[in-house]
Amino acid sequence: MELHGYKAFDKGLVNRYGKEFKEHGIYTVDGDIRFGNDGNGFHFCKRLEDTLRYFPAMEKEIDIAEVTALGNIVESEDNYYGYYDMFCTDKIRIDRVLEREEIINMFLHNIDFRTIRFVQGFKLTPEELMLFKINYGDREEVLKAISYYQEHDLNAYDRKHKIYLKGMHK
């Protein structure tokens, strides 16, 4: 069975344990697949924004790759935190590394809850922030998430936000 998804890495396609990966490479592990920090296998997510749970993209640059699981797959869900479609496999292919602009564009035209999760975990440049504010200018819940997580406004959820339209704010 093949399953496509996303996997985050430290810059240079290095996992949190220091193992280097290569684009188009196929990797395998032996033994039973187990999910978690003490697990066994290659973790990946169905949705790109869920990979940000595992890598501190607010603190440093990371790589995000499209991947394909080629072997046995175990699924995990965290209903408490709302993370679903997280997987672990014993055989994975690194299909391609996504460019930053491509990642940003994926979330400029997405549904709100996915965009909110994205801005909670991916550090945006000032120019990218303005693009999000313009694009979601009429979506107060997105603007609040941007203010709180990107601009560190601790009072963001206590007030109404400005509406942004075509680079102008009211």
Task: DSSP for 119-157, please give it.
Answer: HHHSPPPHHHHHHHHHHTTT-HHHHHHIIIIIT--TTGG
Question: How far apart are the C-alpha atoms of 90 and 69, rounded to whole Å?
Answer: 8
End-of-domain residue from the set 53, 77, 98:
98
pLDDT on residue 131: 94
Lowest mean pLDDT among 47-51, 60-64, 136-140, 157-161: 157-161
pLDDT on residue 100: 97
pLDDT on residue 168: 47
Domain encompassing residue 138: 101-169
pTM score, two decimals?
Answer: 0.86
End-of-domain residue from the set 62, 82, 98:
98
Residue 55 is classified by DSSP as S
- Average of per-residue pLDDT across 67-80: 82
pLDDT on residue 35: 79
Side chain identity at residue 126, one-letter code: P
pLDDT on residue 59: 93
Beta bridge partners of 92: 27, 69
The CATH code of the domain that includes 60 is 3.20.170
Q: How many domains does the chain have?
A: 2
